[in-house]
Structure 1
């Protein structure tokens, strides 16, 4: 597959995600122009509808979409206001650092325009290890929040907690002085506002700070310059906001090792793996499925042929291992088959096995291949057998990509 075709494939997958998100926000959408010939582009330039012959439309990496809402009389009303469409544009750019929305252009606002800027060609270099994944400066943080944090802002809980954690990290790095660390509880108040303004004065040099942290804005991206290395406990706490500190500290080094062992060694692979692990484990809150497993009794496809197999071999581990056959196969892979068949609870109670089984499953299902083409839907079906929880998996994927700069 050529690099351009690969970029086109990712672009179209993101367009599908965008249209779905627009529906969730109350918009209906119609498709406009995708591909332009060089002759058509030249005509657009002559007519003043474009200023360049380097449009991404020529590469099938741009599309124009029209968004509508119902008018009081029920007729579809075309929406072109930048601020009304901004949540859609923020979602698009949050999907990938390569995505651009025309509503953010400075020369003129082209709100229907959504494009992808493919990465420049570069010489092949060895993939970095999972233990140390430095991101490109300035790219981390795009898409981490979905709305604005500050006075008279939306202040969604996850956004506020993310900003609070980032401010504490910047304080530890000496980039802002805080009277005391913020309580990262997702509740916006005066202390959080004061900390934002103090950071804008000290780190951004703003004489009159506005106290706002906008999605993909300068303040957020500057806050993210103090992010630690990927998979360090403070980084993992930012990804999994609902995880306990002790679980993060326990699992962080184990995840680094398993990901290195299983060649989950690019930012995109890591983001997809962590999204699936995060959802399947409830962000480390569950090491076994809550249900008792009775529903699996008699499942021939899982090898549950003996009385009590359903309960005995219910889902365990960060990506839940389920069924006698799968426990046996994993046990053989690590040289502990008899032990795991006799005591399958070890996959839940032994932290090393709890993480290792997720890496084993990932490699067995060849999920790196689906991660490489950014195919969340197919990957989720491989993990789950369906699309249960895909919205939460997508949420975690976007957070992981933002924190990795992927």
Structure 2
């Protein structure tokens, strides 16, 4: 099978996936132009509808589709809103780095256009990339952002900061040169971020005319994520927990790896759930102890607080908070330091090793690996929290961790 026929076959297969996705999202679809002869392309140029004889329609690698939704009176209404169609465009581009949606080109006519472009020639890998282990399995990065980053995009703070961090990582890996140096990862989209995105698209994606957009699950985002570091390293944790200080990521990285190994939190799904719970409970590493004084626990016999002042003395500490005299004693016995922790409970906050280890101990005590294996966030949250407080934030962090792991 020659190269063009192979590309046409892939294009048609992925077109089928797009049509199934459109149907699932409630769109009716009418087919438009697929093949265009050279004579027809010449007429397009003559009539001002095209500027060159270059078109993927000539290769049967492009198609124009019209999308409809049912109106109130039952008639089919043509959808011409770019934002309504953008999820389909992002889905198309997410299927394959060679896929491009015309809705990023700036006119209504282009909203209907879906094409497959010639794949860029592979560039020699930089030394840093050759030294890094290749990521196996699913592509990492899908679902990492919720919207688009670029001119006239939603530019949600976390999405922008994520892209800024990824661009810096690509610069460090030698895949591009950052025109203005490393970006300040502040979540604010501006000219420096735009310039860096376009530089990446030229360098890594071989785009002659970059659009400066990073769409959710689009080719640019997924290519950026090819430079993700190994899981649990500090830069990886900084991408997961955007609100964490760099120093905390450095501090906790080796300790998290050790605790996960000790407690058999040893699959990406288990680790994603563990990190989501730890991240929420600690405010993304910002809090090693609960903010409240602990007075609310005074006299709580169910926590073993039998002595005056026990509520404040044994308040919640650790990445998953250890609370109450009885629990401090039980954890202390488990690690052979009961008397020390009862005398100095603040060590669970100030000793980074204990701060992480207590979370692993709690995880093992509650047999939470089984719930993580079942991907049961709701029940797992009840076991950690006693209720469902912060469930949305735990889910956000879980989805982010899964995107970074590629699961």
TM over 0.5: yes
Residues 90, 217 of structure 2: 8 Å contact kept: no
- Residue in 2 aligned with 1:185? 186
Residues 281, 320 of structure 2: 8 Å contact kept: yes
Rounded Cα–Cα distance in structure 1 between residues aligned with 2:342 and 2:89: 49
Query: CA shift at 1:362, angstroms?
Result: 0.6
1:329–1:305 distance in 2 versus 1, CA, 3 Å: same
Rounded Cα–Cα distance in structure 1 between residues aligned with 2:337 and 2:77: 61
Query: CA shift at 1:215, angstroms?
Result: 0.3
1:281-300 paired onto structure 2 within 5 Å:
281-300=282-301
Could you give the per-residue CA deviations for residues 175-217 of structure 1, whole angstroms, max 9, x where no partner exists? 1111310111111001100100010011001111110000000
Structure 2: gaps spanning 5 or more residues: 1-15, 28-71, 96-100, 102-131
- Residues 1:207 and 2:208 are matched in the alignment: yes
Query: CA shift at 1:392, angstroms?
Result: 1.0
Residues 135, 404 of structure 1: 8 Å contact kept: no
Query: CA shift at 1:79, angstroms?
Result: 11
DSSP-derived class of the 2:387 partner: coil
Rounded Cα–Cα distance in structure 2 between residues aligned with 1:79 and 1:387: 42
Residues 90, 216 of structure 2: 8 Å contact kept: no
Query: CA shift at 1:254, angstroms?
Result: 0.5
Q: RMSD in angstroms over aligned alpha carbons?
A: 3.2
Residues 297, 305 of structure 2: 8 Å contact kept: yes
Rounded Cα–Cα distance in structure 1 between residues aligned with 2:242 and 2:144: 12
- Residue in 2 aligned with 1:332? 333
DSSP-derived class of the 1:143 partner: coil
- Residue in 1 aligned with 2:140? 140
Residues 340, 346 of structure 1: 8 Å contact kept: yes
Could you give the per-residue CA deviations for residues 98-147 of structure 1, whole angstroms, max 9, x where no partner exists? 9xxxxx9xxxxxxxxxxxxxxxxxxxxxxxxxxx9974356100010000
1:377–1:306 distance in 2 versus 1, CA, 3 Å: same
1:358–1:85 distance in 2 versus 1, CA, 3 Å: farther
- Residues 1:395 and 2:396 are matched in the alignment: yes
- Residue in 2 aligned with 1:247? 248
Aligned length: 306
Residues 372, 380 of structure 2: 8 Å contact kept: yes
Rounded Cα–Cα distance in structure 1 between residues aligned with 2:284 and 2:367: 23
- Residue in 1 aligned with 2:307? 306
1:233-272 paired onto structure 2 within 5 Å:
233-272=234-273
- Residues 1:351 and 2:352 are matched in the alignment: yes
DSSP-derived class of the 1:203 partner: helix
Residues 133, 230 of structure 1: 8 Å contact kept: no
The farther-off stretch of 169-178 and 292-301 is 292-301
1:59-98 paired onto structure 2 within 5 Å:
none
Rounded Cα–Cα distance in structure 2 between residues aligned with 1:359 and 1:279: 15
Residues 90, 146 of structure 1: 8 Å contact kept: no
Question: Where has structure 1 moved over 3 Å in runs of 4 or more?
Answer: 63-67, 78-93, 132-135
Residues 149, 212 of structure 1: 8 Å contact kept: yes
1:135–1:322 distance in 2 versus 1, CA, 3 Å: farther
Rounded Cα–Cα distance in structure 2 between residues aligned with 1:86 and 1:323: 53
Rounded Cα–Cα distance in structure 2 between residues aligned with 1:365 and 1:91: 40
Could you give the per-residue CA deviations for residues 23-44 of structure 1, whole angstroms, max 9, x where no partner exists? xxxxxxxxxxxxxxxxxxxxxx
Query: CA shift at 1:300, angstroms?
Result: 2.0
Rounded Cα–Cα distance in structure 1 between residues aligned with 2:401 and 2:375: 13
In the superposition, the TM-score normalised over structure 1's length comes to: 0.69
Which of 1 and 2 has higher RCO (CA within 8 Å, sep 6+)? 1
Residues 135, 405 of structure 1: 8 Å contact kept: no
Rounded Cα–Cα distance in structure 2 between residues aligned with 1:80 and 1:267: 43
Query: CA shift at 1:304, angstroms?
Result: 1.3
